[in-house]
Homo-oligomer: A and B are copies of this chain.
Amino acid sequence: MIEELGDWRRTHYSKDISSKLDGKEAIVFGWIEDIRDLGKITFYTLRDKEGIIQITVHKKNVSKKLLEKLSLIKRQYAIGVKGIIKANPEAPKGVELIPLEIKILGEAIHPLPLDPTGRTPAELDTRLKARILDLRRPESRAIFLIRHEVTNAIRSFLIKKGYIEVHTPRIISAAAEGGAALFKINYFDSQAYLAQSPELYKEQLITVFEKVFEIGTFFRAEETHTRRHLNEFISVDLEEAFVTMNDVMKVQEEMIVYAISKVKEERKEELEILGVNLEIPKIPFKRYTYEEILKELEKAGEKIEWGNDISTPAYRKLGNLHLNEFYFIIDWPSKTRPFYIKPKEDNPELSYAFDLMYEWIEIASGGSRVDKKTVFLERLKEQNLNPNSFKFYLDVFDYGMPPHAGWGLGLDRLIMALLKRENIREVVLFPRDRFLLVP
């Protein structure tokens, strides 16, 4: 028996109800988290977005009609309660709500596939299948409230610094990055692809707005199935004219420090739920050259040939050597980097590229970009890419393309690192990987 909301509207969230309001009437809404029937008295724990409130029913004091309705309620029912706030030193937070009337607004069929209070632990696979119940666990909520805070902090920071928010296309005609696999779409009568980054669009846009950023969903069709890869991800992208790599690295580290400070200020409770002691890292973050990292790895027994990418086991080792540390790796060999990364003038084997790392996880990548058409064409050739696919971008070099630099940061990765989660799927509401397409 599900009732209509009618003219009931919330007067208080759980956290607003205190013993100071003793005697006042309130309407609250939420989900029943727990029911304890002690015979003469029943306690209902009601959870709303702000916390919990105890609903106390003294059976002898309530009407038969209300008792009957109360008897229908099970855990996770969505209900509304109109009642009187009562100070009670024995109740949690010293206050309870004595119901005058209730509305059953949503039913729950038991057994539920997952315990949404989090008291019964479950494997991640099971949790992802019943994701919406899993998200009700206090830990999951905490993760996404912190994620909300980080996203907002990042955006506010960039806007305050004068970056303009742009929306670049997701459906594109050609692969922006040679190596990476792209999802194909049937686009009316043509073949199109899903963008894996806004790279060549944001680079063009600096000729109009000079400083741009975008936060949005992008796609990679890689088959790799790891704990830190998803096929759909949120990227924070930034690009700026008349600057180099070092300038945008500074913006990035300041932005991260700002986001962490905001989370510490605004989400104390959530950090506590997650048992995370977030430290504000010192800036500047350390800069290690690729060569220095190779030496460090060699000492640790992991030999990487100069010019090769760093393997996952090597990154794992690196992580152990850089616990709790944000750090940059710079001076990457040009051939390990995408074609739009600028080779060094005095030594083209090396590039103006950087990665931001947290322990073993790569959080962001960026660099100074190629700003000369001749160099761009050479880079395409080196990477066996067809210049015809890049005509729309090559043209821009003939319209006054200034030096510029930028980066892309994986928002999911950043949250994973900050909250010390072992699997990126924990910090994404509905993750997408090769095997996960539902829910």
Contacts and interface: CB of A to CB of B under 8 A. Distances in A.
Interface string A97-134: 00000000111110010001000000000000010110
A249 to B, nearest CB: 14
B437 A232 contact: no
B187 A400 contact: no
A76 B170 CA distance: 29
11 contacts: A29-B242, A78-B241, A80-B242, A105-B403, A107-B398, A108-B399, A132-B207, A169-B232, A170-B232, A171-B232, A173-B437
Contact of A392 (B151, B209, B232, B438): B438
Interface of A: 2, 4-5, 9-10, 29, 31-32, 48-49, 76-78, 80, 105-109, 112, 116, 130, 132-133, 135-136, 140-141, 144-145, 148, 151-152, 155, 159, 164-173, 183-188, 190, 192, 194, 201, 204-205, 207-211, 216-217, 219, 221, 223, 231-232, 234, 241-244, 247, 345, 371-372, 392-393, 395-403, 428-430, 432, 434, 437-439
Given A190-B437, A209-B141, A400 B77 contact: yes
B188 A434 contact: yes
Contacts of A428: 167
Contacts of A219: 170-171
A209 B144 contact: yes
Given A9-B243, A78-B401, A49 B190 contact: no
Considering residues A76, A209, A242, which has the most beta carbons from chain B within 10 angstroms of its beta carbon? A242
A104 to B, nearest CB: 10
A428 B132 CA distance: 34
B243 A371 contact: no
B183 A184 contact: no
B208 A141 contact: yes
A52 to B, nearest CB: 14
A242 to B, nearest CB: 4
A4 B106 contact: no
Contacts of A372: 2
Contact of A430 (B192, B194, B201): B201
Contacts of A241: 29, 78
A384 to B, nearest CB: 22
A11 to B, nearest CB: 12
A250 to B, nearest CB: 12
Given A4-B403, A398-B108, A400-B31, A48 B210 contact: yes
Contact of A234 (B9, B159, B167, B172): B167
A283 to B, nearest CB: 19
A80 B2 CA distance: 69
A216 B107 CA distance: 32
B173 A399 contact: no
B429 A371 contact: no
A16 to B, nearest CB: 12
Nearest to A76: B400
A9 B403 CA distance: 11
A27 to B, nearest CB: 9
Contacts of A190: 437
Given A136-B207, A439-B392, A165 B145 contact: no
Considering residues A9, A80, A167, A219, which has the most beta carbons from chain B within 10 angstroms of its beta carbon? A167
Contacts of A398: 107-109, 112
Nearest to A206: B49
Given A164-B144, A169-B432, A194-B185, A402 B223 contact: no
Nearest to A437: B173
B232 A371 contact: no
A58 B216 CA distance: 49
Contact of A223 (B164, B188, B439): B188
